């Protein structure tokens, strides 16, 4: 046996060597002498590190560790990785750098040396120089040395009422904002004023006009009585928009709350506004009609519309947002006038047979009342209240009267030689105005009490 094992040097059989009892025993004795017992290994594991041979635990055996600079120290005892991380965290806190391993801007020794140095230190002003600068006249300072960046932002508080002069920069800014807000009456001092003082002077001098918002007038927030007799109201009309490609707007009705409707020609369409007429959107064409000639607001969202060329009545129950056909009024081609008398009663005036139709269910159904003499057109109604209604006609310029909510009608008179009675204005107290064509005249009617003969 000329070959030995590499670690323990035990003879190894080679070639034709015989492995006899003697050789086998010698090999076992050599293994027993070189091997460590389990008890020896347990003692080694439990022994104090100081018992290890100096330098026996190398960096290779320990392996790499990662310092976590976010970990804040919680004490002086920890694992190797914890202690490394805690030390890195403290170094980062002391230097103020992004990472613990970044080079510091200065050392503590250098900082102490700078602080211990006799004044003036490098780059510092002496106390005397600062005192001289502080008490120097404003003109002694260079122009423009204090920039916005040096001053920083300030917040003006418009709630601070001025308490006098002088004040700090922030106080002065706040006081100025307070006065601007008080002068303009705006919610914020920086809001644009409703009027300039020059504009107001022009209004007071009578050389300028005040423009009242449409919404304020429509809602009743601004009235002539509230404005007073010293304020002159000049109406200024501006184009809002064209309604599609329509050629005429025949009727407009105000439903309240900023909602208005407009009826047009030649497309027979209804347009709707929800901002006091500031803007308009198409609702729909009413069937195949070419003109929407009249509206009447029944109330509660119910609105009626009269049309041509087939004399139909349409009805809406949602403030004009949608429409449905009620019926054609006989063989009439135009529904030129509509009126609501209250309690569900509505009237319609037609062309070309000069007829009055009546509804007792808020316009849901209609029946003919009568033809007014030999007139062809029924142009306008005037509801005077108490069941008294007037109607104007064409071609003989006549006025008819009903005293029973439109159930029956009688001729009042013809207005001169006029052909049309186009519209009425009820002034109250029994006084009514009527406008006519073809000579453009105004007639005034006064209710006269007449005895009833029995």
- Structural domains of the chain, ranges and CATH numbers in brackets: 3-43 (no CATH), 60-98 (no CATH), 197-227 (no CATH), 248-420 (2.130.10.10)
Quick one: pLDDT at residue 240?
Answer: 93
pLDDT tens, position by position, 269-313: 999 999 999 999 999 999 999 999 999 999 999 999 999 999 999
Q: Mean pLDDT in the chain?
A: 85
More confidently predicted of 22 and 319 = 319
pLDDT tens, position by position, 178-227: 888 888 888 888 888 877 888 777 766 666 655 555 555 555 555 555 55
More confidently predicted of 213 and 425 = 425
Q: Within 10 A of 363 (CB to CB), how many other CB atoms are there? A: 26
Q: How confident is the model at residue 124 (pLDDT cuts 50, 70, 90)?
A: low
pLDDT tens, position by position, 341-388: 999 999 999 999 999 999 999 999 999 999 999 999 999 999 999 999
More confidently predicted of 142 and 435 = 435
pLDDT tens, position by position, 42-58: 776 666 655 566 777 78
Strand-strand pairing, 355-359 and 345-351: antiparallel
* Residues forming beta bridges with residue 308, ordered by sequence position: 291
Indicate whether 76 pLDDT > 70.
yes
Q: Which of 445, 345, 359, 356 is nearest to 408 (CA)?
A: 356
Q: How confident is the model at residue 15 (pLDDT cuts 50, 70, 90)?
A: confident
For residue 255 the two structure tokens come to 């439903």
């Amino acid at each position: 046996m000329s070959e030995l094992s590499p670690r323990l040097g035990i003879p190894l059989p080679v070639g034709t060597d015989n492995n006899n009892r003697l050789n086998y025993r010698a090999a076992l004795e050599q293994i027993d002498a070189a091997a460590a017992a389990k008890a020896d290994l347990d003692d080694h594991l439990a022994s104090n590190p100081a018992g290890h041979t100096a330098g026996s635990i190398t960096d290779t055996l320990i392996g790499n560790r990662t310092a976590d600079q976010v970990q804040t120290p919680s004490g002086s005892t920890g694992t190797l990785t914890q202690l490394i991380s805690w030390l890195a965290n403290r170094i980062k806190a002391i230097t103020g750098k992004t990472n613990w391993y970044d080079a510091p801007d200065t050392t503590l020794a250098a900082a102490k040396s700078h602080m211990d140095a006799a004044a003036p230190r490098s780059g510092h002003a002496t106390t005397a120089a600062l005192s001289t600068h502080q008490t120097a006249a404003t003109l002694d300072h260079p122009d423009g040395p204090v920039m916005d960046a040096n001053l920083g932002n300030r917040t003006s508080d418009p709630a601070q009422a001025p308490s006098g002069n002088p004040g700090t920069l922030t106080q002065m800014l706040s006081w100025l904002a307070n006065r601007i807000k008080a002068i303009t009456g705006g919610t914020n001092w920086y809001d644009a004023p409703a009027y300039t003082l020059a504009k107001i002077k022009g209004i007071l001098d009578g050389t300028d006009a005040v423009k009242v918002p449409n919404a304020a007038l429509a809602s009743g927030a601004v009235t002539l009585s509230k404005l007073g007799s010293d304020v002159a109201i000049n109406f200024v009309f501006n184009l809002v928009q064209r309604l599609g490609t329509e050629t005429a707007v025949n009727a407009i009705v105000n439903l309240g709350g900023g909602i208005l409707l407009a009826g047009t020609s030649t497309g027979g369409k209804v347009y709707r506004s929800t901002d006091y007429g500031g803007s308009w959107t198409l609702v729909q064409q009413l069937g195949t009609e070419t003109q929407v000639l009249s509206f009447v607001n029944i109330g509660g969202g119910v609105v009626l519309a009269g049309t041509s060329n087939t004399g139909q009545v349409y009805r809406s129950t949602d403030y004009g947002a949608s429409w449905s056909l009620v019926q054609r009024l006989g063989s009439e081609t135009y529904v030129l006038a509509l009126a609501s008398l209250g309690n569900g009663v509505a009237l319609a005036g037609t062309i070309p047979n000069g007829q009055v139709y009546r509804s007792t269910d808020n316009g849901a159904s209609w029946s003919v009342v009568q033809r007014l003499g030999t007139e062809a057109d029924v142009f306008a109604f005037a509801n005077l209240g108490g069941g008294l209604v007037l109607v104007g006609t064409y071609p003989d310029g006549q006025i008819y009267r009903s005293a029973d909510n439109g159930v029956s009608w009688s001729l009042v008179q013809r207005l001169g030689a006029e052909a049309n009675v186009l519209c009425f204005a009820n002034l109250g107290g029994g006084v009514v105005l009527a406008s006519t064509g073809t000579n453009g005249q105004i007639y005034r009617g006064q209710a006269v009490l007449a005895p009833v003969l029995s």
